[in-house]
A and B are shown apart, each in its own frame.
Chain A
Amino acid sequence: MSSRSEPVAEPNHARRFGLIWLAATVVATPLVILLIGPIMPPGKATEQAAGQVTDNTVLLGMATPVLLLVVLYLAYAMICFRQPKGAVLEGPAIRGDARVQTTWLIVTSALVLSLAVYGTLRLLSDDGAGSGSGPTPLTTPKGPKLPVQVIGQQWAFTYRYPTYGGVEVPHLVIPKGKMIELHVTSLDVIHSFWSRQLGVKADANPQVDNIAFVEANRVGAFDVRCAELCGLWHGEMFDHGRVVTPAEFETWIHQAQVTYGPATKALPPYSTTYLPEPTRRGG
């Protein structure tokens, strides 16, 4: 076997790869943001969903250069740093490089910390960004809010409107342009109230009042699904809701009070949580 002539014949791999990566990043990152950004789930039906679209797009923009760095490097290494066929050559005995390691540490730390800061700011500025924020959310939106209670039980969600006499309805209807304060709770096991289009997800725990905020900015239908395994018919625990104009909402809720009024009277009075049926425990 022939002895290898060190760097002399080799191209400057660092510069060459650096340029490839830079070119790919400059081209691909804006392209990815421009192409995927507009179709990024969960859409812009609510303020919270729109906020999540922004978050996802920013994260995608930050992830693209990293993805390109590693994938292109892998490809580069598999093409350029190969053992010639039949040969048994040894590579250079490089055991590390303090400069590269320090740079990597600084860059990854900066990236990671900026991600955490960004996520925190978005979470606080969006008042929980549509996620379940517990019984006492850290920040709450200013202005008037319409409280709606979401009750999970095996295997359906029902909804109560405490400001309308606690009337309980089987399908969620919310007015457009109004901040909705969702109080999510459960009567039995853990469920999770998930509406993809609304950009809301909040676990329904028994004896817990889990609050999430959402403000719809367009009229239309949305899906509701249970996102936490809750037993046999978990897969069938889905349903549809509607966003309507405030005027339509008023008409609808008064109609609902008539329709569901008698049934509501048979229910326990409105409360943030409900004690499930008495158990034999604790005795």
Chain B
Amino acid sequence: MTTTTAAVSTPQPAGRPLWRRLIGFNLLAAVILGVGGYYLGWFIGHQISGKSFAYQENSSENDVALLLAYVFGVVGFLIGLGFANYPVSRMLGRPASLREKEEEGVGRYFGLCTDHKVVGIQYLLGIGLFFFIGGVNAMLIRTELLHQTPQFVGPGQYISLVGMHGTMMMGMMTSGILGPFANYFVPILIGARRMAFPRIEALTFWLLMAAGFILTSTIFFGGFPTGWTGYEPLNDQAVMGMDSYIIFFALVGLSMCLLGLNMLATIITMRAPGLTWSRLPIFVWSVLATAVLMVLAAPMLVATLIMAALDRTIDTSFFIPGGGGSSYLFENLFWFFGHPEVYILALPGFGIVLELLPVFTRKPLWGYRLAISGMLGVSLLSFFVWQHHLFVSGINADLRPFYMLSTEIISIPTGFIFLCAMGTLWKARSTLSVPMLFCLAWVFNFLIGGLSGVFVSDAPSDTGTHGSFFTMAHFHYTIMGGLIFTFFAAIYYWVPKMTGLRFNERLAKLHFWLMFIAFNATFMPLFALGLKGQPRRVSEYASNLHALNVWVSISAFVLGISMLIFIVNTVYSMIFARVAAEQNPWRSKSIEWQIPHPVPVNNFEQIPVFDSDPYDYGVPLTVAGTQPASAGT
């Protein structure tokens, strides 16, 4: 193995004045250039479209200006962060600066940093911020639904809230596990010192942050009425807030695609000696399966949104029936991305559960190969099911039996994951630590999500449930119950490694139980509400559904409180209490717990050599009654 020269960090001269430290390529410069770019784009947009498109006269609407403003703003933002430095200096023939990695201190977190561990923590905080905003939207939605008719916000604001909640969650949380945990731990788990493309890694994070702020800015432009699906022709009809949605999702798509590409390149090419495919941790396999989906599905989204943007600005008619386009085309293209997207959300969760169960059951992962085939099977099949979202739309009605079949077949590989989880629990020595509790909750939640999926995947049954709260409950069970629960499992499991600090156990347990109970109390009744006739995304519903809606809203507020407990715990444990975590609190045999923390900049002094998978737990069956030497302590 060739040894790379360790980047010797040059400590910053102590006592530099604050103003001196603020100058340079960092978040401050990025914001200033971003705002400058925004106004430049706005100005240019008005110069172009104010003159040539009579369509926009006499209205305050100028989609060209806003779209250009966003694009220029993002470019300015990235230049301010320093993303242009490397290519520019290479083009000028100067030696490229590696400053991004060498700098130390808190400043690293507020700029372009190519250390995958810094990017991981940046992702965790950044995504956490937008997850919080999405969650607040959900609370506002439930507050409105306390009433049968719009009382708290108007109907327009209500659908904007619904759209922002859905788009924020579906957009930002696609990187919910891959962003923080795969960026941080995949290089360590495969024995590498960095990701394959460290600058692209940083770019994916900052693109996502720009996207998040752009989506939030929709409130200044009237919001958008389409929900996260952005269906045409409503999309074309909508006010300027729709452009925020378009740019948001296009940036998320770009970020997702680059993230996937980076993961694929890293996992395929940078594994340490001895880390064969059959020794790869199952979490890394799940990241691989997700990355394939990201690379293949996200470009479709970006292309679709560019077409939508052209429809909105220069009056093309890709999706406008009156001009020769088709509203079906958008639905088709969107869901061709959209269905893989939901597995992009679910698959990393599978990986987390199967990665953590062996540690807490003190048993090897049961059915390692079966789990891999399950993940790859889900990944492959997810490209063949998209029209099940369109069972009642009248599109290709003759193909419904096929989509029913392909959708139901996808439960076979998903079933593998359940079998592996259940097999690992068999005759286990389980400790119900907080991460373990979240994993067990995943088994329950995803089961409910999967079984309700059987109803919505059945075309006759879907006639009743399509577009109703039943479907909404179904995908909250799979996404919130599947992704968010495992997201928290990963936080409680890995953040002590990332920060070197431990969480308050009691608050963590309180968080879990409150969240689990409130989650089920919120979403279980939604199945009944849907079957009784409440459609999604409406602020008015029949009077006989009022009592149940009030119950759901109150449960949702309790769910919100459980999230506040998590925030309190995080702030308390990470800022005030600061109790150092043990070196290996879970007695894991995985490599990330064997290296010192804080993890050195280059992870390993020497590239490790692997001779087994990380699931070497348990009493070997042949030597009954003996305790392996490495267990315990």
Mark A residues whose CB is within 8 Å of B: 1, 3-6, 10, 13, 41-42, 48-49, 51-52, 55-56, 59, 62-63, 66-67, 70-71, 73-74, 77-78, 81-83, 87-97, 100-101, 104-105, 108-109, 112-113, 115-116, 119-120, 122-124, 126, 128-138, 184, 188-190, 192, 194, 196, 199-203, 205-208, 210-211, 223, 225-236, 238, 275-283
Q: Is the CB of A281 within 8 A of B460?
A: no
Q: How far is the CA of A108 from the CA of B78 in the complex (A)?
A: 49
Q: How far is the CA of A132 from the CA of B159 in the complex (A)?
A: 25
Segment touching A, from B35-43, B204-212, B391-399, B492-500: B391-399
Point out the residues of chain B lying under 8 angstroms from A232, CB to CB.
Answer: 155-156, 159, 225
Q: Is the CB of A96 within 8 A of B538?
A: no
Task: Return 9 A-B CB contacts under 8 Å, by A number.
Answer: A55-B461, A91-B361, A112-B411, A131-B460, A132-B392, A232-B155, A234-B537, A236-B155, A277-B322
Residue among A130, A196, A282, A283 making CB contact with B533, cutoff 8 Å: A196
Q: Is the CB of B427 within 8 A of A78?
A: no
Q: Is the CB of A52 within 8 A of B392?
A: no
A-B contact count (CB 8 A): 346
Mark B residues whose CB is within 8 Å of A: 55, 150, 155-156, 158-159, 225-227, 229, 231-234, 237-238, 315-317, 320-324, 326-328, 361-370, 390-398, 400-401, 404-405, 408-409, 411-412, 415-416, 418-419, 422-423, 425-432, 440, 443-444, 447-448, 451, 454-455, 457-464, 466-468, 531-533, 535-540, 542, 587, 615, 617-621, 624-628, 631-633
Contact flag A129-B156 (CB < 8 Å), given A59-B454, A66-B451: no
Q: How far is the CA of A75 from the CA of B587 in the complex (A)?
A: 25
Closest Cβ–Cβ distance, residue B386 to chain A (whole Å): 15
Point out the residues of chain B lying under 8 angstroms from A74, CB to CB.
Answer: 425, 440, 443-444
Closest to A119 in B: B458
Q: Is the CB of B411 within 8 A of A134?
A: no
Q: How far is the CA of A60 from the CA of B415 in the complex (A)?
A: 18
Q: Is the CB of A55 within 8 A of B460?
A: yes
Q: How far is the CA of A282 from the CA of B459 in the complex (A)?
A: 37
Q: Is the CB of B234 within 8 A of A279?
A: no
Q: Is the CB of B617 within 8 A of A41?
A: no
Closest Cβ–Cβ distance, residue B148 to chain A (whole Å): 10
Q: How far is the CA of A130 from the CA of B392 in the complex (A)?
A: 9
5 smallest CB-CB distances across A and B, nearest first, come from A210-B394, A281-B323, A93-B618, A129-B460, A134-B397
Contact flag A192-B392 (CB < 8 Å), given A92-B427, A95-B368: yes
Q: How far is the CA of A20 from the CA of B551 in the complex (A)?
A: 34
Point out the residues of chain A lying under 8 angstroms from B631, CB to CB.
Answer: 88, 90
Q: Is the CB of B460 within 8 A of A202?
A: no
Q: By CB atoms of chain A within 10 A, which of B431, B467, B539 has the most?
A: B467
Q: Is the CB of B393 within 8 A of A77?
A: no
Closest to B446 in A: A70
Q: How far is the CA of A70 from the CA of B226 in the complex (A)?
A: 38
Closest to B458 in A: A119
Q: How far is the CA of A130 from the CA of B316 in the complex (A)?
A: 35
Closest Cβ–Cβ distance, residue B318 to chain A (whole Å): 10
Q: How far is the CA of A66 from the CA of B457 in the complex (A)?
A: 17
Q: Is the CB of A234 within 8 A of B538?
A: yes
Closest to B229 in A: A229
Q: How far is the CA of A190 from the CA of B369 in the complex (A)?
A: 45
Q: How far is the CA of A96 from the CA of B372 in the complex (A)?
A: 13
Q: By CB atoms of chain A within 10 A, which of B226, B327, B454, B461 has the most?
A: B461
Q: Is the CB of A112 within 8 A of B412?
A: yes
Q: Is the CB of A281 within 8 A of B316?
A: yes
Closest to B617 in A: A90
Q: Is the CB of A116 within 8 A of B404?
A: yes
Q: Is the CB of B394 within 8 A of A90?
A: no
Closest to B314 in A: A281
Closest to A89 in B: B429
Additional pairs, 17, CB under 8 Å, beyond known A70-B443, A91-B361, A281-B316: A3-B625, A4-B619, A70-B444, A77-B422, A81-B428, A93-B619, A96-B369, A105-B412, A124-B401, A130-B463, A189-B232, A200-B463, A203-B394, A225-B538, A232-B159, A236-B155, A281-B315
Q: By CB atoms of chain B within 10 A, which of A90, A97, A189, A235 has the most?
A: A90
Residue among B227, B238, B322, B396 making CB contact with A279, cutoff 8 Å: B322
Closest to B158 in A: A235
Q: By CB atoms of chain A within 10 A, which of B231, B316, B326, B633 has the most?
A: B231
Q: By CB atoms of chain B within 10 A, which of A66, A115, A131 has the most?
A: A131
Point out the residues of chain B lying under 8 angstroms from A116, CB to CB.
Answer: 401, 404-405, 408-409
Q: How far is the CA of A233 from the CA of B540 in the complex (A)?
A: 10
Closest to A238 in B: B540
Q: How far is the CA of A115 from the CA of B443 in the complex (A)?
A: 22
Point out the residues of chain B lying under 8 angstroms from A277, CB to CB.
Answer: 322
Q: Is the CB of B320 within 8 A of A281?
A: yes
Q: Is the CB of A189 within 8 A of B619?
A: no
Q: Is the CB of B619 within 8 A of A90?
A: yes
Point out the residues of chain A lying under 8 angstroms from B617, CB to CB.
Answer: 90-91, 93
Q: Is the CB of B428 within 8 A of A201?
A: no
Q: Is the CB of B397 within 8 A of A226?
A: no
Residue among B155, B326, B366, B397 making CB contact with A94, cutoff 8 Å: B366
Q: Is the CB of A90 within 8 A of B429?
A: yes
Q: How far is the CA of A112 from the CA of B416 in the complex (A)?
A: 13
Point out the residues of chain A lying under 8 angstroms from B427, CB to CB.
Answer: 10, 13, 81, 91-92, 94
Closest Cβ–Cβ distance, residue B170 to chain A (whole Å): 15
Point out the residues of chain A lying under 8 angstroms from B401, CB to CB.
Answer: 116, 119-120, 123-124
Point out the residues of chain A lying under 8 angstroms from B323, CB to CB.
Answer: 279, 281-282
Q: How far is the CA of A112 from the CA of B532 in the complex (A)?
A: 27
Q: How far is the CA of A199 from the CA of B138 in the complex (A)?
A: 30
Point out the residues of chain B lying under 8 angstroms from A42, CB to CB.
Answer: 464, 531, 533
Contact flag A190-B159 (CB < 8 Å), given A81-B429, A203-B393, A210-B394: no
Closest to A64 in B: B451
